[in-house]
Structure 1
Amino acid sequence: MIADVSRTSLRAGVEKAVADGLPQISDPSSVAPADARALSKLFLERLTVLEEGTQDHQYARNTLIEMNMSLVRFAARRFRDRGDDMDDIVQVGTIGLIKAIDRFDISREVEFTTFAVPYIVGEIKRFFRDTTWAVHVPRRLQERRVELARARDELSSRLGRAPKVAELAALMDLSEPEVVEAQVASNGYTASSLDAALTTDDGDEGETVLADFIGAPDPGMELIEDLRSLAPLVIELSERDRRLLHLRYVEELTQAQIGEIMGCTQMHVSRLLSRTIARLRAGMLQDGSAG
């Protein structure tokens, strides 16, 4: 017969279970950690002989999970300074606990808590490494972000101001470029929506959104690039061709006016301009294909 174990009679229930089977625990999450260790050993032993998929197997496995949630919460507290929701961290740590229960070998003389904690911590670390970063960065920089946050908090508390890069580098035993690299990488941890409303200095949220501050393509930049590419080609022209271009495109004279100044016909000016522009265009295209 299965014993009904309450909080006050839990130890008596364990003794009864040795004779009759697994105790029926109405609220496994309320089991104290010390009692959970003793009960976990009993449940793990029974789990090895129970047929998978049966109601008894499911009860034993689910009870083990609920009884050992204190291990998950203990491990999750190590990550509370990362700014993520603790419920999410505990949920991920529970996956590690389940893996530990499924892979635990009762024949090994190892405490279940000793075996389970690395699984729980490893699952949480994997979660931070693979899913929480908005931009993928190398693992060493992900870990350095946590070190940087701790160093910044410690120095801010000690100095009463935001620490400088040199001060962070001294505390973290890193070079200043390595600290700057970690700071830049930390920006990839979270991302903001372009439609998110920005908060003003007085704390009010206005109608301005982040997208309003993103620059648009400037056609003038392309013009600058073209002029820089064109300059050496113009220098290679003859003095007459350079003067011709100056009169036409700087002083903006007509071809007839240019012909009068240079002592030639308007038709000849047109041919000279066409030939010079074709030469410059060919040089620009050649320079673009080479780049």
Structure 2
Amino acid sequence: MTTQSINVRGMELLMAYSQNPSIELRNQLVRLNSGLVKKIAYRVSQQCSEPYDDLVQLGYLGLIRAIERFKPDQGYAFSSFAVPFIRGEMLHFLRDKGNIVKIPRRWQELQQEGQRVSKRLTATLGRPPKEAEIAQALNISMQEWQESKLASKNRLPLSLDLTVGHNVDHPVTLGDMLPDSYDQTLQHWEEDRQQLQGAIAQLETKTQAAIEFVFFRDLPRKEAAKHIGVSPMTVTRHLQRGINELVSLLQPQTPERLAS
């Protein structure tokens, strides 16, 4: 089956699910988009210690959430709509878990062995050993020992302004060491923007208009009310309702909520 035929089939299923939701149609859509979930899970697995298979399962939760919220008549490509939901489920889990930095097994073993060596040297020397003495006892370079220590300390999220080294004229921060951090940030912003845009598209028309005029165009509520054709008080009600609905739409969906 070609990519084009898959896209056509996917849109047909999405339209059918939108008109008459069923577990059978939803499962067909999940199977059809499983490649997208696995692709995102693989990328995320390269940046964390969570098993790939577990990330895939989390991704399926996000995919189901996207299927249930997608509206074919809005004109969005489903893949663009679904990516923030799939990736969001994985990142929410990793953020809640806290341990998001993947440490090579060798560095983990070096830290464990280094602790044993440090205790032994302390007993032998009658003082805490120097870092160079620990590295020598482990028969590794000082650089490798320092890298393993740094990785161990950075298992939890840290400030990107943390100094991890020095050049001739300025310190080197953790942010400086991250590859393509600016591009990754832009990508995350775009994914968040698409997810927010998709959520706003699900609101009632006048609620969408109120949010656009007040929050995006920065108009006073009285002026926004004239554009929409309602009273300023009604604009306020639309804004409050819209905010509450957006909070609900953008929250990660738990298995219990999916089953309900």
Q: TM-score, structure 2 length as denominator?
A: 0.40
Instruction: Report which structure shows greater RCO (CA 8 Å, sep ≥6).
Output: 2
Larger relative helix fraction: 2
> Bigger radius of gyration, 1 or 2?
1
Q: TM-score, structure 1 length as denominator?
A: 0.36
